[in-house]
Chains A and B, each alone.
Chain A
Amino acid sequence: MELKDIINPNNLVYEKPKLLTENTMHYCPGCSHGVVHKLLAEVIEDLDIQDKTIGVSPVGCAVFAYNYIEIDWQEAAHGRAPAVATGIARTNPDKVVFTYQGDGDLASIGAAEILHACNRGENMVVIFVNNGIYGMTGGQMAPTTLIGQVTATTPNGRDVGRNGYPLKITELIAQLPGTSYVTRQSVHTPATIRKCKKALAKAFQAAIDKKGTSFVEVVSTCNMNWKMTPVKANEWMVDNMFPFYQPGDLKDSSKTDPESYTPLKN
């Protein structure tokens, strides 16, 4: 059989999701964001919720996410996406709202907003792309930067005495009673990508079912600022990020039952 006979619409098994726009992504070659965007488009398409999904993309590399997926978007200030999403979700209870945040955005400048939105159990999906570095501003230390990791502002490696410890914010989030599903995924192999897609689908289904906050961390690479090839960056992530940020579900239940709290004495 010749190539031209195989390349035929009847034999199609994988194509670009329809919800992805024709715009070329601004991300660096091999960036994990592109894969997560693709999964997001596929999940929204599969659940057929494009007419009621509103995305919030705050400052960071994904600030331009609105250029790539054919849904309504709001761009938010640095760290404030969970507050913006709260405003949308509270006044639009029939819509599906998600934020798409990086580690500097979510775990540093927006730490208060994410903790309180998750603690209130706002009905939304949080997609947290954690690559341990500030990508857009040129590779400075993030709250999630590993001890010893070299960045533009820790040229000799992150030093605990000077910079404090890397923050496992997802573990913190999992403690909060408003969250129902908290998971840590990655997108570095075909198998993990398929698994991450399932996690995203579950998170969006939870939002449709009004189960409170679902939180999907995607441990990712930033090969450009890690100063590695994309392939090497994936290996580095597996060797260094995974021991500290272990993939897997941290919580898979429902919002905490208010009845479980001790009632007031009078």
Chain B
Amino acid sequence: MAKVIGAVVVDNEECKGCGLCVVACPQDVLAQNKQVNSRGYHYSFMKNPEACIGCSNCATVCPDTCITVYRVKI
């Protein structure tokens, strides 16, 4: 069976740390960083990158369109 793996790239400076992507992820890939960006927001990051399936849910719910998604079938 073909496996799908994905990856997301968060624009750290554009992210406002709202956390909506974290709950939208079905694979528990994302989390909010303890670090803040230059505007003081806890930007999202892949804490569990191996689990990403590139479903784009995180990017779809992101109000600031700061997530880009990639997906590969292997």
Contact = CB atoms under 8 A, between A and B. Distances in A.
B60 A6 contact: no
Interface size classification for chain B: 20 to 34
Contacts of A230: 18-20
B57 interface: yes
A27 B5 CA distance: 33
Contacts, number: 93
Secondary structure at the B interface, as helix, strand, loop or mixed, is mixed
B23 A231 contact: yes
Given A25-B63, A29-B17, A30-B18, A189 B72 contact: no
B30 interface: no
A168 B54 CA distance: 39
B44 to A, nearest CB: 11
A190 B57 contact: yes
B41 interface: yes
Interface of B: 5-7, 9, 14, 16-20, 22-24, 41, 49, 54-57, 59-72, 74
Interface of A: 1, 3, 5-8, 11-17, 20, 24-25, 27-35, 38, 187-190, 193-194, 229-231, 234
| 4 nearest A-B pairs in the assembled complex, by CB-CB distance | A34-B63, A30-B18, A29-B16, A14-B69
